[in-house]
Structure 1
Amino acid sequence: MITAAIEPTFTDWRDKARELLRRGVRPEDVCWEDATQGCGLLPENDVSDAVAFVTAEHMRVPPGFLSLASQVCAHTDERRFGVLYRLLHRLTLGGRRHLLSMPSDADTRQCQMWAKAVSREIHHMHAYVRFRLVGVDEETGREQFVAWFEPEFRVVRLAAPFFEKRFAGMDWSILTPDECVSWDGSELLFMPGMRKEDAPAGDAHDDLWRTYYRSVFNPARLKVQTMQSSMPRKYWKNMPETQSISELIASSQSRVTRMLETPERPLKPLPDNAYLRSLRGQASRPGP
């Protein structure tokens, strides 16, 4: 039995899986361990005595596998590395390159379920990260922001490119318990996880978030279960605007009643000028 103790990242799994596959090691002969959980103290068996080297031709993976693997590795299920290597072995040395198009296959289905859960968590991170202003760089004049987020899975590396593109004009850091990422305008820097106490407690932007949320909240369309489904409660504690949700829900019925009792406002006359008259004239002309 070979003990493969790795960091719980796609890069480490890929490098170790490539080495094992190159030597033809069977999935049932590998015990995958998370080195960050103290398992790195275990001796890692040498794979030099395994089967002879496999040619690069037999190690080629079908399109889509690496993308799937990167998401599966971001999950936290302790079985993920073993199942993923078994799928890789079957796709390559097993000669079953069609497995990714077979959702009925147990390994494929399990990996796709993990990937779907990770993809959903990436979306949640994109939607629910809230940056707080902590200062301004004196040399560059760039504002500096920090956010705290508690993802269910290890999705920081998968979610970071979105923030790099969206907030390229400011310096920012996203802190999570497992891993942190910072952007300085030129590159992404990944660091070990941190504690929530290291994140800023709040700033003036929190009031802006609360004001915005109150302004777009429509009591007439309130569906609490649907709201909690699209914005799970586990994220509320780190979002400033959610502090107003209980109050808004409690007052929703009275607000709807006031809306129904308020007389309709008279319609404003349409704006009128030469340019708008010319547009209306063009619209009224018959087509060719």
Structure 2
Amino acid sequence: MMQVRFDGSFDDWRDRARELLQSGVAPHQVEWLGKGELGGLFDEPETTGPVDAGSSVRVPRQLIDELESAARFRTADRWSLLYRVLWRVAKGDQTARLVGDIDGTELHARIKGVRREAHHMHAFLRFSPVGCGELPNYAAWFEPAHDVLVSAAPHFAERMGLNSWLIATPIDAVLWDGMVMHYADRCPPAWRRLAQNAQDPGAELWKTYYESTFNPARLNRNVMQSNLPVRFWKNLPEGALIPQLMSQARAGAQRDGQAERVANQPGKRIGRPG
């Protein structure tokens, strides 16, 4: 099997994939190795044949967009699937990109997973102020399951105005200086520390509000964990409260339909009509 090394980016993968297509290298002959990845012990180094400068590979622009989106899905065979779909479409098999085909179904499942993770970032990321006169003005730490930072970050630039902000993840980071987006494919340690240590002075007030408005009577554990996955709780101010509130609901708080501190306030309780 041929080892094809690239820098781990979609752009570099696309260039290498084009060369392989023009050289007639089939998907089963290729092992894709991104930055820092090791191949098998008996695999052969990359040796593509001469590329015909006059030949060209034409595929729909929409397919390239789909492949780029699916490339953000973190899984061991992400580049292999992309090349297999690209190879089949380039050879005239358009079903490779359709739901119902084994490769097309997996392709669109990954695209859906990436879109959902971008939605999670938009919904569950929390900025904290860094300090007066500091750059950036706000910082946030987020742990996405897929490589969605670059595609999801412009959402915050549109909503934060001229404020500068930093989003750091375990892998990469992005800094918006109020005018320009700066991307680091390896999160600098200083950025990581800044994002993880930023404290929101309004966090306690927010937790009090969240606890007082929590409605045990409407709690559906499965629905809640589907819309707010457990893996995000540790980085949310209210995350530490959720298990306690859920426990109280199971213990009988659902009868009141309100958090305990609200249900115990003095006032007239209106019963149901007879």
Give TM-score, length-normalised by structure 1. Answer: 0.77
CA distance in 2, matches of 1:136, 1:22: 56
8 A contact 2:130–2:198 mirrored in 1: no
Q: Deviations over 1:30-52 (max 9, x none)?
A: 2201213366xx996243x2453
> Does the aligned pair in 2 maintain the 1:90–1:96 contact within 8 Å?
yes
Identify the match of residue 88 of structure 2 among 77, 83, 90.
90
Distance, in Å, in 2 between the alignment partners of 1:13 and 1:74 is: 12
3-state DSSP of counterpart to 2:225: helix
Aligned residue for 1:111, secondary structure, equals helix
1:116 positional shift: 1.6
CA contact (8 A) 2:19 2:51 kept: no
Offset of residue 128 of structure 1: 0.9
Question: What is residue 249 of structure 1 aligned with on the other side?
Answer: 246
Summarize the Cα distance change of 1:109–1:256 in structure 2 as closer, same or farther, 3 Å threshold. Answer: same
Three-state SS of the structure 1 residue aligned to 2:11 is helix
Matched, 1:263 2:269: yes
Structure 1: runs of 5 or more not aligned: 265-288
CA contact (8 A) 2:136 2:166 kept: no
Tell me how far 1:225 sits from its aligned partner. Answer: 2.2
1:172–1:43: structure 2 CA closer, same or farther, 3 Å change rule?
A: farther
Indicate whether 1:108 and 2:108 are aligned.
no
Q: Contact between 1:178 and 1:194, CA under 8 Å: does it hold in 2?
A: no
Looking at structure 2, the residues matched to 180 and 70 of structure 1 have their Cα atoms a distance apart, in angstroms, of 19
Rounded Cα–Cα distance in structure 2 between residues aligned with 1:242 and 1:262: 33
- Do the aligned partners of 1:182 and 1:189 also contact (CA within 8 Å) in 2? yes
Return the match for 2:133 from 133, 137, 159: 137
Q: Tell me the secondary structure at the aligned position of residue 94 of structure 2.
A: coil
Q: What is the deviation of 1:75?
A: 1.4
Q: Displacement, 1:54?
A: 5.9
Matched, 1:60 2:58: yes
Contact 2:95 2:101 in 1 (8 A): no
Aligned equivalents of 2:223, 2:118: Cα separation in 1? 20
Residues in 1 aligned to 2:179 and 2:13: alpha-carbon distance in whole angstroms: 28
Q: Percent identity?
A: 34
The equivalent of 1:284 in structure 2 is: none
Alignment check: 8 A CA contact 2:217 2:253 kept: no
Structure 1 contact 62–97 (Cα < 8 Å) conserved: no
2:203 is matched with which residue?
Answer: 206
Relative to structure 1, is the Cα distance of residues 174 and 38 closer, same or farther in structure 2, using a 3 angstrom cutoff?
A: farther
* Aligned 1:1-288 pairs, distance under 5 A: 1-37=1-37, 45-47=46-48, 49-50=49-50, 52-53=52-53, 55-56=55-56, 59-92=57-90, 94-100=91-97, 102-137=98-133, 144-191=137-184, 192-193=186-187, 197-198=193-194, 199-252=196-249, 253-254=252-253, 256-257=255-256, 258=263, 262-264=268-270
Q: Secondary structure at the match of 2:179?
A: coil
Relative to 1, partners in 2 of residues 1:143 and 1:81: Cα closer, same or farther, differing over 3 Å? closer
- For 2:68, the aligned partner's letter is S
Q: Aligned-pair distance for 1:143?
A: 6.5
CA distance in structure 2 between the partners assigned to 1:208 and 1:159 by the alignment: 28
Residues 208-242 of structure 1, C-alpha deviations (whole Å, 9 max, x = no match)? 43234234422221222211121011110011112
3-state SS, counterpart of residue 135 of structure 1? coil
Q: Deviations for 1:163-213, whole angstroms, at most 9, x for unmatched residues? A: 221223311111101111111111211111356655225221322432342
Equivalent residue of 1:115, what SS?
helix
Are 2:21 and 2:87, in contact at CA under 8 Å, matched by a contact in 1?
yes
Deviations 1:60-80 (A, max 9, x none): 222421222122211121111
Q: 1:178 is aligned with what amino acid?
A: I
| Aligned CA distance change for structure 1 residues 201 and 169 (closer, same or farther; 3 Å) | closer
How many residues of Structure 1 are paired with residues of Structure 2 in the alignment?
254
Q: Which runs of no fewer than 5 residues in structure 2 stay unpaired?
A: 257-262
Change (3 A) 1:137 1:65: farther
Structure 1 CA distance for aligned equivalents of residues 188 and 230 of structure 2: 22
Closer, same or farther: CA 97–244 of 1 in aligned 2, 3 Å: same
Amino acid in structure 2 at the alignment position of 1:112: H
Query: Residue by residue, what CA displacement relative to the aligned partner does 1:82-137 show, whole Å, maximum 9, x if unpaired?
Result: 11111111111x0123532x322111111112222222111111111111111233
SS in 1 for 2:147: coil
